[in-house]
Amino acid sequence: MSKQKRRINLIFSLLSLLLFICAVVAISYQLRKYSYWELVNSIKAITSIHLLLALGLTILSYLVLTVYDILACYQIHQRLPYLKIILAAFLSHAISNSVGFAVLTGSTVRYRLYSNWGLSVAKIAQVIAFSNLSFWLGLFAIGGIGFIIEPLTIPKLLHLPFTSAHPLGWIFLTLVACYILGSFRLKQPLKIFSWRLGFPSPKLALMQLVIASADWMLAAGVLYVLLIGISNLSYSVFFSIYLLAQIAGIISHVPGGLGVFETVILWFEADNNNLATVFGILLTYRLIYYLLPLGIAIILLVLYELYQRFKLHKQQ
């Protein structure tokens, strides 16, 4: 790695650290009047039915995430048992969602598994690219619609060149429209500098769009069902806030958007008299949607590696 690249990486790392510190300070400022026990009691106050709903939506969300890889294997004409694809996709998403740096962490997990199952490096790269593209396509599609219907005021702490999310909505939908149009019109890969972008068939592109949008709606639903009863926000308004918070977390490069995501949610809930309860619910959301799948993924990955070692030892 050149010195210039190292400097750029260092600058981005420092900026991410600074943003994380600012987010923590902002959260501490908003919660300074609440005690530790108030936060604990707010978590305990979440009803069992809401917890079960959140767990159910989390399971559905991660199942939908695995479809990204299923569609990717279909796109590259690679036949693999569905259980293997689901395992690779779940482990990749569960780890990258919490650890962050999805291109690095998720790609490493996929490479480890898919290479063992006979995929070439080129095909694994195509699966990774298709999956990451699906993630962004869903965000742009559902975010574009949400920001047009609910043009939120963008918090100044995000330092974006817009005061409203409305322009973002039109930009997002324009990008989605270009992608769908490309799937209809461009049969050969589009070359941009050294990159070659191959479009899927129109049918596959539309499936990609629907699946990715459903994933975002399910992920937002996990937090929404936990907030029911203490927040007066409708789902459409909440969904736009959720997407804006996720975008802020992604831009920050902080693993899982930790702190940044919560700061944006709390900023929009500033008038809520139960702010400590909101924060307690955000912690619960982190536990259910991020840490629980991460823990399961780590156990499955360890078991898989032990099985591989056992199989190798048996063959010797």
Flag whether 159 is in a domain. yes
For residue 23, name the pLDDT band (cuts at 50, 70, 90): very low
Q: Cβ(42)–Cβ(281) under 8 Å?
A: yes
Total Cβ atoms within 10 A of residue 12: 11
User: In terms of pLDDT, which residue wins out, 13 or 304?
Assistant: 304
Using CA atoms, how far apart are residues 106 and 23, in angstroms rounded to an integer? 25
Flag whether 100 is in a domain. yes
Give the per-residue pLDDT at 26. Answer: 43
Flag whether 1 is in a domain. no
Amino acid identity of residue 68, one-letter, is Y
Amino acid identity of residue 67, one-letter, is V
Flag whether 80 is in a domain. yes
Whether the per-residue pLDDT at 24 is higher than 60: the answer is no
3-state DSSP assignment of residue 228: strand
Q: What is the mean pLDDT of residues 218-238?
A: 86
Q: Which of 87, 106, 136 is nearest to 250 (CA)?
A: 136
Give the per-residue pLDDT at 48. Answer: 84
Flag whether 84 is in a domain. yes
Give the per-residue pLDDT at 152. Answer: 79
Flag whether 20 is in a domain. no
Flag whether 308 is in a domain. yes
Q: Which of 137, 148, 144 is nearest to 204 (CA)?
A: 137
Flag whether 245 is in a domain. yes
Q: Which domain holds residue 175?
A: 36-315
Give the per-residue pLDDT at 188. Answer: 66
Q: What is the DSSP string of 185-241?
A: H--SPEEETTEEE----HHHHHHHHHHHHHHHHHHHHHHHHHHBTTB---HHHHHHH
Q: What is the mean pLDDT of residues 22-36?
A: 49
Structural domain total, the chain = 1
Whether the per-residue pLDDT at 30 is higher than 50: the answer is no
The pTM for the full model equals 0.79
Q: What is the mean pLDDT of residues 39-45?
A: 65
